[in-house]
Amino acid sequence: MGLLEDKKVLITGGSRGIGRAMVQRFVEEGADVAFTFRSSAEAAKAMEAEFKGGSSKVKGYQSDAGSFEEAGKLIKDVVDDFGRIDVLINNAGITKDNLLMRMSEEQWDQVININLKSVFNLTKHIMRTMMKQRSGSIINISSVVGVFGNAGQANYAASKAGIIGFSKSVAKEVGSRNIRCNVLAPGFIATDMTEQLDDATKANFLANIPLKRLAQPGEVADAAVFLASDMSKYITGQVLSVCGGLNI
């Protein structure tokens, strides 16, 4: 029996990278999974087809996590389709890197909106459902950059640090209702997002990672399985880094 047998899970940004690996890993553990995407409609259809006929239900939804209205509709649609939501993973995120001197207001606003406000949007709208269930696990994907900052990523680091403060506050507000809220802080993971980094930045990261390699997206998904499952039922308000020791 899987660690997530019969759990209903919603993962934002599940069409690529870490989110996609989480969909796959959660299905392996017996969960039914709803995932979102913003523009990768073909990839989402292919994923649905991949899992069709298996024991888990997997369904993709086009929904902009940065939109408060779309987040509300998404939660309603997923509850209608799946019956309840036991686990919410706020994973959708983007980068718009630039040194502060060159960063535009638009680059700031886009990153804060999609990375941070999205977490408010989804968490706010799921509260009623989880309160009624008197259970739930919310996992918010931050970054080690949100803990120690990074030159050229002031917008991204601010959004990821904001997620940590938000998550600790939510954990304190809803712990008495048996709703947990934790943070995963990945380091340097091999996805489209890190593919964009220049060679010097990659070499600098690698030099500082004690395990001397990038992580695969599935290694973040493994930590998400733990925080989603009852194995972590006494853990809330915590930040778990999956970074090969980059933060020590």
Active-site residue numbers?
Answer: 156
193 forms part of the interface with ligand NAP (CB under 6 A): yes
Of 36 and 232, which has the nearer Cβ to ligand NAP?
36
39 forms part of the interface with ligand NAP (CB under 6 A): yes
Tally of residues, the chain: 248
Cα–Cα dist 53/134, whole Å: 32
The tokens for 68 are: 């408060």
Of 17 and 244, which has the nearer Cβ to ligand NAP?
17
228 forms part of the interface with ligand NAP (CB under 6 A): no
136 forms part of the interface with ligand NAP (CB under 6 A): no
Can you give 170-208 as a three-state secondary structure string? Answer: HHHHHHHHCEEEEEEEECCECCHHHHCCCHHHHHHHHHC
Q: Are 155 and 112 in contact (CB under 8 A)?
A: yes
Among 8, 10, 12, 228, the residue binding ligand NAP under the rule CB under 6 A is: 12
106 forms part of the interface with ligand NAP (CB under 6 A): no
Query: In angstroms, what is the minimal distance from the CB of 54 to ligand NAP?
Result: 21
φ, ψ for residue 215, nearest 5 deg = -90, 155
Residues that bind ligand NAP (CB under 6 A): 12-19, 36-40, 64-66, 91-94, 114, 141, 143, 186, 188-189, 191-194
